Structure 1
Amino acid sequence: MTENTFPLHSVDKIVAFYRNAVLTASEAKHFTKSDLTPTPKAETVQTLYMRVLHLLFRFKPECHSMVSTAPYSLVQSSFTLFTFSLWWLWQQFLPVCMVYDFSLSDLLNPKKQRTLTILSAIMNFLHFRNQRMEMIQEKQGKFRADVDRLQAYTRSIRDAERKIEMLTTIPPEQQAEANELAAALAELNTTTAHEYQEVNTKTERIAELKSEVAEKTQKLAQMKVDVSSLKEDISKLKSQIVESPEELKSQMEKMRDTVKNIKNSIEEADERVVELQSMVQGVSHTEAEIQHVLGLLQDLEASMSNCKQQQDEHQELIAQYEKLQKELKNLCVEEGQLKRALDMKRDKECKLNIRRQKKKEMKEQHVKEVLGYGPIHQKREEMADKIQKISGETQQLRAKIKSLRDICGEETEKAQAIYNTLSAAMGELHQRIEAHSRDLKLAAAKMSANI
């Protein structure tokens, strides 16, 4: 007792603590500082010890009279069975409070410093017990919240699986409509390919007509140049003509014939130009319609590629979801294994408690045989080390279970996010497919009307 591993408290602190935390209301009123200093009262000290036992182990005062009287017959008559029972119980419990030399004199003839030291040790142990109980209650509350959260996550995962199954499967009443849309899309692809070939032939014909129009315009320009040169020649020849009426008439007739032929050729060229212009306008209109159809086909191709891409993303998301489900199942299996390991640890603790009880019974038998009780501190320290080791392992298992639950919660949130993106993408895909199908039907109707 010369070297303590716990702090010693003052008399005022000890009196205030035992009044508030240990003694009953009537006992706390009569408990004062004079009961401990300068000379502690044996009855007061015994009452404190008795109330501490009742607080820790629910060992009521009337239970002290139920202790076996075999060792009591060997004890001197200077103290009662109550005192012997109290001493025997505190002899077993005080080593937990780091007090190893508790004796009968501490109950029958208590000393001031000795009593204050023992009460300080008990006070420190009660503070430690209260702190640990608060921590255990807080951990139990967190554990219950985690279990509730895990159950909610599993329910949400099941709902998500049902929704995904509903979205991925086509209902029987819509199967016929889906087959009709697929057949209409295939027919539309064949018609567009055929029309695309016809457009190519028309474009080739238009190119040929353009080349012919260019040749005709070139010939027309050459003819205009020839006419202008002929007019110049006529003006030159007029100055050189000998005025003879017959030759003049013959030349005039020839010139009239040539002019008439030129006019006829010019009119034919103009008519041909008008026809070519009307043909060019029709070709340009056809080209515009072809460009519109090509745009629709490009949009359809882009929508089909987007649909295929979204289907690939859907397959990837389903694969990720299945992977997450497998990981969740593995985590549940690991949790079950950890629970089984925890149960095994608890069984070991129960076995250790049984062994400890047997040792206590052996000690009680030894007390019955011999007066007094020799403390076996080394064995108690070994048992305390084993208990601390087991408690450390249980804390590690609880920390691992908590980490697994956190991982499970994160994976569940990821699965929920994947499901939300998947449902949004599927809705958008259905809307775009419906819009493109309507556009293609309108385009096909217009093309059939034009044809």
Structure 2
Amino acid sequence: MTENTFPVYSADAVVNFYRTEVLTGQEAKHFTKSDLTPVPKPEAVQTLYMRVLHLLYRFRPECHSMVPLLENIQNPVYHEGATAIMSVCMRMQQFLPMCLVYDFSLNDLLAPKKQKTLTILSAIMNFLHFRKQRMTIILEKQAKYRADMDRLQVYVKGSSEAMRKIKALTTIPPEQQAEADELAAALSELQVATTHESHEVNAIKESIAEWKTRIAEKTQKLAQLKVDVSNLKEEIGKLKSQIVESPEELKSQMEKMRENVKIIKNSMEETDERLVELQNLVQSVAHAEAEIQQMYNLLQDLESSMNNTKQRQDEHQELTAQYEKKQKELKNLIAEEGQLKRALGRKQDKESKVNMRRQKTRETKEQYVQQVLGDCNQIHQKREEIADKIQEISRETQQLKAKIQSLRDVCSKETEKAQAVYDTLSSSLDELHRRIDMDTMDLMQGLTKMAT
């Protein structure tokens, strides 16, 4: 017992386990501790082993007593008693090494011993516990694998639909390819023009900021000069009141003052010219901003027109579906009309044949023919009405086609969105495939470990 790699349970634990997990019905009720202790009963032990084999390998207990059909065997009735014992012994000798029991013999079935029987039953209990744990793990992995496969199918279906939508969006009809190229070229030119104008506006704004800083500096200098001139005038008035100046000094001072006044006037004129130039630049910037706003409004109008075209496309699809339904109804009406015409011809033939026999039948046939003709007239009227409706629908479809042909910029945006969706889907699919491969590898490794 010390050499065993599994625990040897008591008789009570063995009886409770086999009554709940292995045996069923009357066998579970009649199986007690006295069947194992103090001396195990061979019949109870044999039934236990048969039920274990049936639980594990689906080998029914009645199959053990079946004699193999050989040609040279004589009196097979004599072999039926020993066949069941030998079959159970052979199956248990094949099974028990999996439970780490290698010394099972025929004596353990015919004259079992208490300790040996408890050891074998404990080994089988240990194996059944391990089997139950492995079964729960495998069932969980199978459920996870099924969920992953369902998710994979959903992703594959979504990716196929996305590919179909991408193909439908990327394929441009040949009659609209030229217009799409023209619109793309016009859009590229417009983008280039807007970028050029934005660069020019930025440059003009920078120059305006520089000129504003210069004007501020000039105004500060002018204010300082005005303050200096006023201070000089005050000092001159004070000096005149205090000192009697010579005429030469007065002349030199006056000339200096005149030169200062000329310099100030020149600087004022220069600042005025700069101010006029800056005003012109501000006007040009305002004009450029107005042009940019106008272009932005044009782009907004273009976007609204694109939305309108999308709505028109949806309406066009609905109208085409209605048109197909009307065509199907028209075909059904034409088939009914042909059937009625053929029936009318048959009825007329029958009427011509019966006309020679009975006058009354002729009158009834004529009335029936008139009814059929009235139905035909009604069908013709319905056909004309449906034809008028079809013409109206065709005119509306032509108008919608004429409007749809003018707007094709939606294709480029939708293709970009679809490409982004496709990239995300492809990345998610790659990640999903990688995870599924990893799960399948783990599952195969677990299965190989279980098989070993």
TM-score range, shorter chain: 0.3 to 0.5
